[in-house]
Amino acid sequence: MPVEGHILISFEGIICGYTFTAANVDERDVLPEIVAGLQGLLIGDKGYIRPRLKQELELQGIDLQTPLRKNMQDLRSKAFVSQMSSSRRLVETVIGQLAERFHIEKVRARDTWHLANRFIRKVLAHTMGCFLGRMLGNPTLLFEQLVQV
């Protein structure tokens, strides 16, 4: 059965939440599980556009913001939209690190327990890289400076 992972990251690039679903599950149906107990601004991609989801999250104290589709009118300030795009680049950086450095796309396991265990170890390794970088005074996601040859 194909499995898909979903992650939540902070504005510093640290993974704060994750879950697994079958590959055919809509990511909008998974979001409430990942953000349970959180409040504040949440930036997602266009895939999270669903008015009912936005309303449900507002009741929880979450302001879901997404880029809009081309046929939608955006009344938000250009500065906010620019900041949102910058945040999306941060998400893509973290996903790229998980894919390239930790080979997260190829977690081979025979069952869900082993899959989750291997995934969690990779997330822990990423988090430790962020932590060690921060301790050394480096930017959070600049892992190259952790190893000096």
R_g over Cα of the chain: 17
CA–CA separation, 104 and 106 (whole Å): 5
Token pair belonging to 129: 């890289």
CA 142 to chain centre: 17
Q: To which residue do tokens 């599980």 refer?
A: 33
The string of pLDDT tens digits covering residues 49-91 is 999 999 999 999 999 998 888 888 888 998 998 888 888 888 8
Cα–Cα distance, 29 to 129 (Å, whole number)? 31
3-state secondary structure of 148: coil
Whole-model pTM? Answer: 0.81
Instruction: Give the pLDDT mean for 137-144.
Output: 88
The identity of residue 106, as a single letter, is K
